[in-house]
Amino acid sequence: MGSTLVETININAKDFTEHFLTCSTCINQFSSDSIEHQPKLLPCSHTVCRQCLERIVNSQPRSDAIKCPICREHILLPRGGVTSFPPSFIVNQLLDLMVQLRRDVIPKCSSHTNEELLFCETCDKIFCQLCDQHQISAEHTVVPFSLAIKRMNEILFFKASKTISCLDHAFEAVNNEIIRLDSSMEKAAEAINRSFNEIKSYVENRRHNLLQSLKTTQDHKLKILNDQLNLILRKYLRQISSLTQQQIVDVDVHIAHQPPDLIPSYHKQLQSSISLPPHSKSTNILTAKGGFYTALCVDKNGLLLAGKCEKDGFARIEIYDNQGHLLRIIDSYAQRLRRPCSLATTRDGCVFCVDLTTDSIRKYRYT
């Protein structure tokens, strides 16, 4: 493979501009951008700027013809005047070329200012032919360093464009991911709030149901207990009523150290129906020593039957005559009395005793 060596021509930009790109009349540089200094091509093939042609037309008496300021040839003015002269395309192309050359920086050797630097693509090295005797062989590709710069610029521009495109795609992807993340977060927050609201509603309903069930159970059990209490009271009243139907008379009840609600209602009625004579005085006939009396009754023969509770927790029935002398004691040896609260005698010499502690009614014979 042969090496490629691109030859370039060194042109002095200042001399070139002065000889080819400058108006010979006003010594101003032609310009394709400025109206006054536009290059106009005359029929004699000379180029003069528009400003100079207009000044020449204004200074001559004849307005239909002018003399070329360079060759002095008579030139007829076109109908449109100076502006109708055609532009100098060659000068305009040279102006464009100079602009392009000014843009293209041609690196030169620091020791040899007129020598352009070269670049070996195989060795990746910049060198000057006069300073560095670089071995140029068939396997090496050597190009001007300015051309290498252009190629590198193109490569860098391509890579930069590709990188920018990748960055744009990455930015768009990240932006879409952020939007998706925000949307997912909002949905997750809504789901969490909805779940907690459902749980809260369920717990509240459950609490209400449990409280309602508890209230229902309480009412039901309270009704059962009230029914049982009423049944016990009716049973107790029936037992007391059966005793009164056996013609038990002269029943006097005295309950000591008992709450008033434990006294049967019919005893209260009996006590309220007893009227003492006016100015009557009570006399202590019996005195409980070592205990206290809880019940008292008198039989048909005038004997006193008294229920007495001892301090040791046991109880008994004591029988006295009308003078207060103790005749006998009734005690249940197998099932002792605990708290006799009511006594009633029968005509055949038996006594009924109501024991509050054992919730029972007992019958004894004392005659």
Please give the pLDDT value at position 181. 93
What amino acid occupies position 286? L
Token representation of residue 305 = 């039957």
Q: Which two tokens stand for residue 162?
A: 């590709």
Domains within the chain, CATH numbers bracketed: 13-103 (3.30.40.10), 247-273+287-365 (2.40.10)
Name the token pair of 198: 């459902």
Residues 6+ apart with CB under 8 A from 277: none
Kind and range of the H or E run holding 201? helix 145-244
Helix-helix angle 145-244:265-273, to 10 degrees = 50
- The rounded distance, in Å, linking the Cα atoms of 149 and 133 is 22
How far is 199 from 156, CA to CA, in rounded Å? 62
pLDDT at 101: 64
- For residues 20 and 22, give the distance between their C-alpha atoms in angstroms, rounded to a whole number: 6
Do the beta carbons of residue 321 and residue 301 sit within 8 Å?
no
In this predicted structure, what is the pLDDT of residue 343? 93
The pLDDT profile of the chain, 367 residues, written as one tens digit per residue, is: 344 444 445 566 677 777 788 888 888 888 877 788 889 888 898 999 988 988 888 887 777 888 888 898 888 888 888 888 888 888 888 888 777 665 556 677 777 767 777 878 777 777 777 777 656 666 777 787 777 777 777 888 888 888 998 999 999 999 999 999 999 999 999 999 999 999 999 999 999 999 999 999 999 999 999 999 888 888 888 877 666 544 333 333 333 333 344 334 434 443 443 343 444 444 555 565 678 888 999 998 889 999 998 877 788 899 998 888 889 888 766 677 888 889 999 988 899 999 888 888 888 888 8
pTM: 0.29
Predicted confidence at residue 249, as pLDDT, reads 35
Q: What is the pLDDT of residue 89?
A: 85
- Written as one letter, the residue type at 363 is K
Nearest to 307 by CA among 285, 297, 358: 297
Which residues touch 319 (CB under 8 Å, ≥6 apart)? 303, 304, 305, 306, 326, 327, 328, 329, 330, 366
CA 140 to chain centre: 69
CA distance 144 to 313: 134
- In DSSP terms, which residues pair with 127 in a beta bridge? 118
pLDDT at residue 286, rounded to an integer: 57
Cα distance between residue 29 and residue 14, in whole Å: 11
| Residues 6 or more apart whose Cβ sits within 8 Å of residue 128 | 109, 111, 112, 115, 117, 118
For 360: left if phi > 0, alpha if psi spans -120 to 50, otherwise beta; the answer is beta
Using only C-alpha atoms, what is the Rg of the chain? 71
Q: Which residues does residue 66 pair with via DSSP β-bridges, in sequence order?
A: 75
